[in-house]
Chains A and B, each alone.
With several copies, the nearest count.
Chain A
Amino acid sequence: MSILLSKESRVLVQGLTGREGSFHAEQMKAYGTNLVAGVSPGKGGSTQLGIPIFDTVVDARRETGADVSGIFVPAPFAADAIMEAAAAGIGLIVCITEGIPLYDMVRARAFVAAAGVKLIGPNCPGLVTAGQAKVGIIPNHINREGSVGIVSRSGTLTYEVIQGLSQAGVGQTTSVGIGGDPILGLSFTEVLRLFKDDPATRAVVMIGEIGGSDEEAAADEVISPGLGKPVIGFISGRTAPPGKRMGHAGAIISGSTGTAASKLKALTQAGAQVCDTIEEVVAAAAAAVGQPSSAVHR
């Protein structure tokens, strides 16, 4: 069991013929992902990595039954690619592209919401269901099958946690990088709900960071009512400066939410086990699934 992605998922890649797209599609295929199609307008009819390329997502879906799309197209075209996938009836869209303009993304986000489709990202590493399939750029070799679910806003910190757990002999069900952009698809709340209903997942690691209040929302909406399994929380950016404050307007909107203190407090009060370092996260997750960590070695 797992969430969102499995060996049966039929995956297409938008932008497969590009440099990033072709490299990562190859990695995805090497991991065992059921890669069925690529989409590159104007290259329909060709093949790459032994996979048929289509001009449009509609064509690709009709011909191959693809139900998941990984998006690797450049930022100026990525929001359009997301909407193309949503309009074509793709059920799960994973957008790796970073640097999408915010107004493009608020529009794409509204489009996807109206279509009732799941979006992960953008500016995210994607997701891996350990031992089954991968959509995105999480390094193949760090994953290990097991019972910890991971959901994270940070890419490289996700890798750190996965690697730390795997090295400690603790495997994962699905690791989901939801992305670090201000405008995101799936939130912590939505992913945690999926983990709640996944019997294979016995503990969940949640890596948040400052900004926005999705962590606070998740604490209220899904951790506090009870997930039925341990949640190990971590927030990065405790000592980061207020950063680029968006004038008065940003302060008016966010008030005191969005700070590390606010998030740590919300998670603690909701009953999550909050850790100070990634090493502690690994140890706590190992303990939660009854596998005392041998890590923090080196």
Chain B
Amino acid sequence: MKFLEYQVKERFRAAGIPVPDGRLAKTPDEAALAAGALGPIAVKAQVPVGGRGKAGGIKLAKTAADAKSVAGEILGMTIKGYTVREIWCETAQDITRELYLGLTLDRDARKPVLILSAQGGMEIEEVAETHPETIAKLHPDPWRGPLPFEVRDLIFRAGLGPLQAQLTPLVVKLYGLARTYDALTIEINPLALTQDGGLVAADGKLEIDENAMFRHKDLHGTDESEEDPLEAEARRRRLTYVRLDGSIGVIGNGAGLVMNTLDLVSREGGRAANFLDIGGGAKAEVVHSALELLAGDPHVKGILINIFGGITRGDEVAHGIIDASRDLNLKLPLVVRMTGTREEEGRQLLREAGITPEATATGAARKIVELATGAGR
């Protein structure tokens, strides 16, 4: 689960990480009021994606009149598919230097990693690529968290020694927030050094581990309305779904199997409309729910189901598919590749119901590409 900038900053503020003063606005008039109260402000589109600045979603306003006009431009904009409905109006900062401070999971190290750089801002990824020596990292012990001496060492390694007294508690607080919210990623970028020598979180990101949501029930739905509606619906159905830009709906059990199915569709000249994993042990209701989800997506021109029947028997899975496609009155081309326990019985049932069964995943991928695009090979 991701948060919008202003939601992240609320949490930063509560944790004692300095942020600029700001107000949320939903209309140009509210933005004007904010500028009246705060003075010169930055007006920032609240969308859960990067690249807002380049897309024109961040503008400065010196006066209330400026703020009203700028807010009028930004509200209603579409940025990477997200309509701007809220803007964050915050005191414009006099920034002398942009640092980067973030935490994510380093899967190779099997630990969280804190990242600090004196070269923050929009180009941090390029900096990491071209000048890796300017990026200092710390892998805190997951039980102890970052110890003060480790944080000091990180800061000195990043060449930020003179800011040590200010930065040390900030790093510790950021890690604390990450733990509190089970953050997969938490970032302050830029972490701005202002004219008066203070540090302030000029922008922030926070993404929460979905697996830990049982510890954060109060956070459910905080920003769901801002997400891709199909992804939000998939989440409600507890399906692992990622929207892609092709036309062939793909359903499978197991992430590796689904990814492999996407690869096979691609090999056969098609493009998948999604990644949809119904998890190990395919059950009839889950197949039903997944089919329903894809059937509602106008981009989907055909559906490929790839199931390995392990514990569950092939004939049961076949019944699930047949019932679902009948209940949904599915008109789209549907190809099923099913293997494992009682695969022959399953295939027979599918054939009888008028659904194309395929024995191999490669064959199934070829078939659905033919059917969905009319382009055989």
Contacts and interface: CB of A to CB of B under 8 A. Distances in A.
B187 interface: yes
B255 to A, nearest CB: 5
A42 B340 CA distance: 38
Interface string B248-260: 0000111111011
Nearest to B189: A248
B308 A156 contact: yes
A167 to B, nearest CB: 10
Interface string A125-139: 100000000000111
Contacts of A106: 105, 110-112, 142
Contacts of A252: 102, 104, 115, 124-125, 128, 135
Contact of A247 (B205, B260, B340): B205
A251 B182 contact: no
A249 to B, nearest CB: 4
Nearest to A295: B360
B335 to A, nearest CB: 15
A58 to B, nearest CB: 6
Interface of B is mostly: mixed
Interface string A239-265: 111011011111111010000000000
B102 A42 contact: no
Interface string A270-298: 00000011110000000000000000101
Interface size grouping (class) on chain B: 35 or more
B256 A240 contact: no
Contacts of A253: 104, 106, 113, 115, 137
Contacts of B143: 107, 110-111
A209 B252 CA distance: 16
B113 A44 contact: no
A268 interface: no
Nearest to B358: A298
A103 B209 contact: yes
Interface string B336-377: 000111000000000000000001111000000000000000
B259 A102 contact: no
Interface string B139-157: 0011110011110110010
A157 interface: yes
Given A44-B156, A159-B308, A249 B187 contact: yes
A25 to B, nearest CB: 13
B164 A42 contact: yes
Interface in B295-310: 308, 310
B102 A109 contact: no
Smallest CB-CB A-B distances: 10 pairs: A154-B256, A156-B254, A84-B149, A249-B104, A101-B212, A298-B359, A156-B257, A239-B266, A237-B259, A249-B102
17 contacts: A42-B165, A100-B211, A102-B184, A110-B143, A111-B143, A137-B281, A137-B311, A142-B340, A153-B256, A160-B361, A236-B259, A236-B260, A247-B50, A248-B102, A278-B260, A279-B362, A298-B359
Interface of A: 23, 27, 41-42, 44, 55-59, 75-77, 80-81, 83-84, 87, 98-104, 106-107, 109-111, 125, 137-139, 141-142, 152-160, 163, 180, 182-184, 207, 209-214, 217, 236-241, 243-244, 246-253, 255, 276-279, 296, 298
Given A59-B156, A240-B262, 19 more contacts: A41-B152, A41-B164, A42-B165, A56-B153, A80-B149, A98-B280, A101-B209, A103-B212, A142-B310, A154-B255, A154-B257, A160-B257, A209-B259, A214-B108, A236-B257, A247-B185, A249-B115, A252-B135, A253-B115
